[in-house]
Amino acid sequence: MLTHRRQPNNTAGPLAEALGCPPASLAELAALEIPRQQQLAAMITARHRQQQDALEAALRRALPACLRPLLGNVVHRET
């Protein structure tokens, strides 16, 4: 599985938490109400997960395809 780089900051609002950044980074958006921040955080998390899934799928497809030309002769000899 792919791993998230940053640890969530539990003292931040939902948006800063989803982005793993200090609340000061989003100071100008502080007026966003918590439920709206939660909605945005959910969108970000969903997009992050979707990107992770896409990367995982791409990796699953690519590894055999990339290894075949590199190891093809070896595999062919062994079989």
Partner 1 sequence: MLASLIEVRKLAALLEQPASELDDLTPYPPEALRQLRHLCEETCLADDRARFQRWAQLAAWLPTALTAPLARRAGPLLTARIATEMPSHRGAAIARRLPVSFLTRVCQHLDPQRSRELIRHLPPPLLVETALTLIREGAFMLLGRVADALDDATTRAIMEAVDNDSHLLRIALYMESRTRLDHLVRLLPRERLMQAVLLATDPANDLVLEVIALLGNLGYELKHQLGDLAASQPDAVLERIIQVTEAHQLWPDLIPVIAELSPATQQRLLALPALQQQPAILGHIITAADQHGLWSRLLPLVAMMGPALLQEVGNQAAILDRHAIARAMEAALTTEQWPALVRVAGHLPAQRQNDVAQIIDEYGKVDPALRQRLATLAADNGLPTRVQ
Q: Contact residues for partner 1 (CB under 8 A)? A: 2-6, 15, 18-21, 25-26, 28-29, 31, 36, 43-44, 47-48, 50-52, 54-55, 58-59, 61-62, 65-66, 68-70
d(CA 29, CA 52): 27
Segment 10-14 long-range contacts (CB within 8 Å, at least 24 positions apart): 13/37, 14/38, 14/40, 14/41
CB 79 to partner 1: min, Å: 21
| The length of the chain, given as a count of residues | 79
CB 68 to partner 1: min, Å: 8
CB 78 to partner 1: min, Å: 21
